[in-house]
Amino acid sequence: MHTGTLIRDLRRARGWSQGRLADELAEHSGMSISREYISRRWESCRSVPSPFWMRHLAAVLDVPLAVMESDVNRRKFLSTLAATTVAPGVASDLLQEGFSARLKGAGPSVEAWADTLTTYGADYMTLGAAEIQKRLAVDLAVIQQQCDSPQMWAHVARLMTLYAKTFPGADGNRAVTWYRMAAESADRSRDIGTRVWVRGRAAIALGYEGAALPVAAMFADQALAIDDRPSLGRLNAIYGKAHAAAIVGDTDTARGLDTEGRRVFDRAGSGDDEASDYAVPYWRLGVFRSLLRARLGDESDAVEAQDEARRLLPPTLPRFATHLEMHRGLMLVRAGDRAGGVSYARTALDALPPEKHSLTLRMLMDEITGPISECLCR
């Protein structure tokens, strides 16, 4: 593939015009370049960019410099590009098609994928959704070719679950599609723990965010029916169902599930030193309960959960501290101090560096600032 063709494909993958690429290059390099030059010299394949422009092209198009400079297998690179630099919705469709096709191929070992999952579990707690989504898309594009054993399906299911979590509430249908695929993949693993965890994680993610509540309840019910033994998957499912119940006004069910969840935690909860998306230490249970009780209007229980969570929360996880502060803002709104609650929550969110913001925090802010009638019915 000629470099000019690669530049054109990379530009189009980002949805950029030649003029937009020229503007990005000029801003990054400090040198003027015209749309006509890009069109007539580079993308027409009449000439190859100089080393100077190669560096800036690699930077603005977000690709390794080696891809621009050498004749590597660019078509293979572009297959990965489809999962990383195009719009997330397009990447999702491409990956979904790839899993359906069940392509065969070589790749990392089962053990290597297990290590990758451990890394993602830790990184999820600190990194932004966009960065995680980009990396996951690449790994999903690779692992989809290796779904030839129950162990690989178990790894795929957990990767899919995290990938679903990176989609915003405005794109809830796409998140639900990936949660459904994750559940089906978990079933193919024939591992009960994976089947319960995937459904429970989907339930708590959707329930906590207040998104797709019937689906959250469905995943929770499925997880609870698969296995009645205490586990982190069951714990997640219980609190996912509790949040869904609280939001629709079924307060008795929500409070009963909270009681049941605390009993399950006593037998299956994680240690306080575990900071992973696959773990639920006591401080994370407190985050679940803090928002649940705030939604129910149980101020004293909410404050107790917040204080307990804050006491054990690692200082390296400021995003979760922001969750707890915003829960207090929601409590004020529920108590009738709408202006004060919104101000309190927004101050807490603004105090967190923008790169630490998450989709869930933005959805929580939307819930707090939503119409009064909507807040009260929740």
Q: Contact 257/238 with Cβ under 8 angstroms?
A: yes
Which band of pLDDT confidence, cut at 50, 70 and 90, is reported for residue 168?
low
User: Which among 65, 59, 70, 63 is positioned nearest to 26, based on CA atoms?
Assistant: 59
Alpha helices in 144-248 (DSSP H): 150-165, 172-189, 192-209, 213-226, 232-247
Q: Is 182 left (phi over 0), alpha (psi -120 to 50) or beta?
A: alpha
Which band of pLDDT confidence, cut at 50, 70 and 90, is reported for residue 249?
very high
Q: What is the predicted pLDDT for the residue at 52?
A: 86
* pLDDT tens digits, 190-243: 999 999 999 999 999 999 988 888 999 999 999 999 999 999 999 999 999 999
Distance (Å, whole) CA 119 – CA 72: 29
CA distances (Å), 69 to each of 33, 83, 245, in order?
Answer: 20, 22, 56
Which band of pLDDT confidence, cut at 50, 70 and 90, is reported for residue 172?
low
Q: What is the predicted pLDDT for the residue at 264?
A: 97
* pLDDT tens digits, 266-279: 999 999 888 888 99
Q: What is the predicted pLDDT for the residue at 238?
A: 98
Distance (Å, whole) CA 186 – CA 160: 10
* pLDDT tens digits, 154-165: 999 999 999 988
* pLDDT tens digits, 306-352: 999 999 999 888 889 999 999 999 999 988 899 999 999 999 999 98
Which band of pLDDT confidence, cut at 50, 70 and 90, is reported for residue 101?
very low
pLDDT at 73 over 50: no
Q: Contact 279/121 with Cβ under 8 angstroms?
A: yes
Q: Contact 254/243 with Cβ under 8 angstroms?
A: yes
Angle at 311 between CA 308 and CA 313, to 5 degrees: 100
Average pLDDT over residues 133-141: 78
Q: Contact 327/290 with Cβ under 8 angstroms?
A: yes
Specify the higher pLDDT residue, 11 or 200.
Answer: 200
Distance (Å, whole) CA 305 – CA 330: 14
Tokens of 152: 């690989």
* pLDDT tens digits, 24-62: 999 988 899 999 999 999 998 888 898 889 888 888 876
Q: Is 45 left (phi over 0), alpha (psi -120 to 50) or beta?
A: left
Average pLDDT over residues 100-124: 75
Please name the amino acid found at residue 3. Answer: T
Average pLDDT over residues 267-294: 92
pTM, 2 dp: 0.70
Q: What is the predicted pLDDT for the residue at 71?
A: 53
